[in-house]
Amino acid sequence: MIRRTRPVAGAIALLAALTAGIAFPAGAAADEPRGDHAPKVDLVLDVSGSMRAKDIDGQSRMAAAKQAFNEVLDATPEDVRLGIRTLGADYPGDDRKEGCKDTAQLYPVGPLDRTEAKTAVATLVPTGWTPIGPALLQAADDLDGGDGSKRIVLISDGEDTCAPLDPCEVAREIAAKGIGLTIDTLGLVPNAKLSRQLSCIAEATGGTYTSIEHQDELTDRVNELVDRAAEPVVTPVAVEGAGTCAKAPELKSGLYTDREEFGQQRWYRVELPAGQELRASVSVAADRAVRPDYGILMRAVTIHGREIVRGEATGNGRTDVLSTGLRHPKPELDDDSDEPSTETVCLGVTTSFSADAGVKTTPGLPLELTVDVVDGPDNASDVASFGLGRGWWLLGALIVAGFLAGLVWGWLSRWRVAVWRTN
């Protein structure tokens, strides 16, 4: 099986892991989701005419999908609210306008009746068009409501046939809503154009793309994605940065998502009590074609505009995600100090991405911001000095070791010369 998981998915998973301790109190992960907290999955299946092709283990693509769905329905965790949506299942005609409306909810998202869902899947017959964009829009509505994880699993064997409603743009619009919805895509044909489109859809929401060539691979991958939806996750909180620090939203410890236009600067505020340390990081994903040579700058400044510390990174077009971070400790104050006990820190994020003509700049590039306010160092000596902190000890040890090694090498060299002259 060929799997292609783009770096943006890895970056977004790493941020979630780093902040899991922030967002979930002890013991919360052990509780099963109930009601509004239940995870939701919508399986979106391509039932267009091309699914008749018999190239998956000697059977048709449709037959392989049905068999995989039956096994997935048997294995779906009880706490997952699962639904099935089709595209291209009902309209057999040549009217493109009608064909591009052909998407329907085969089984509603909710508590799973396995027998009823299997019966619905058994009725499917490959029929019409491939309206991926319209199906994704409807699937997002299928998952509306609740604050549990939301996941669309799209299975298709062909490109969308309903342009100019570009499914990549649809996925970006869904991501821009900040509802924490992930789209994973599976391609049933090893086709370069299909792979590019399905990869683009997945990348826009931090999902994954997988190329499938065998029925058991399809079953395993869909099972894996459904199980993943049931795992406790950190859902980023949608926030909108401001053009100035004075108007910026105040952030607590947590994971946040925003959108930033090319070359734009966004500001956020954090209140940092004495004795605490601010740790912040930001990742920006290039979810569309951008020119090489780009950068990201994160600055922490005072409310009056004095820069405290910065973090920056540059890219050359070889990665899809660019990340940087910073830390700033606020020492404990003496009892007789006149300084305020809490410091307002302004976090500014600036990007230098650009794109060729014709590439859409809206919505902006997806941005994830991690903020963590933790206990600071016990004393001033623990605070980084010139950015090295206790690394000065290592630097000093290396200097001494190098000096001694030079002396020994010089002595050995002189001794060898003396022996050579004697002989």
The pLDDT tens digits for 72-84 are 999 999 999 999 9
Record the pTM: 0.59
pLDDT in tens, 308-367: 999 998 888 766 778 899 999 888 776 666 677 889 999 999 999 888 888 887 888 888
Output the six-digit token pair for 32: 């099963």
The percentage of the chain sitting over the pLDDT mark of 90, rounded to a whole number, equals 47
Instruction: Decide: 206 and 9 in contact? Cβ < 8 Å.
Output: yes
What sections of 101-256 are H helices per DSSP? 114-122, 132-142, 167-176, 192-204, 215-230
Closest by CA to 298, choosing from 374, 389, 368, is 368
CATH entry 3.40.50.300 includes domain 237-382: no
The pLDDT of residue 16 is 41
Q: Is a pLDDT exceeding 70 seen at residue 31?
A: no
Q: Is a pLDDT exceeding 90 seen at residue 302?
A: yes
DSSP secondary structure code for residue 181 in this structure: E
138-to-42, 103, 205, 209 alpha-carbon distances in Å? 10, 8, 16, 20
Tracing tokens 């965790």 back to the chain, one arrives at 77
Domain ranges of the chain: 2-230, 237-382
Spatial separation of the C-alpha atoms in residues 251 and 33, rounded to whole Å: 26
CATH entry 3.30.930.10 includes domain 2-230: no
The pLDDT of residue 233 is 62
Q: Which residues of 280-303 are buried (b: 16+ CB within 10 A; e: fewer)?
A: bbbbbbbbbebeeebebbbbbbee
Q: Is a pLDDT exceeding 80 seen at residue 303?
A: yes
Output the six-digit token pair for 163: 């342009």
Cis peptide before 164 (omega within 30 of 0): yes
Residues 6+ apart with CB under 8 A from 374: 253, 276, 277, 279
pLDDT in tens, 180-199: 799 999 999 888 889 889 99
pLDDT in tens, 371-388: 999 887 654 444 444 444
Spatial separation of the C-alpha atoms in residues 291 and 363, rounded to whole Å: 17
Instruction: Decide: 361 and 355 in contact? Cβ < 8 Å.
Output: yes
The pLDDT of residue 382 is 46
pLDDT in tens, 46-96: 999 999 999 999 999 999 999 999 999 999 999 999 999 999 999 988 898
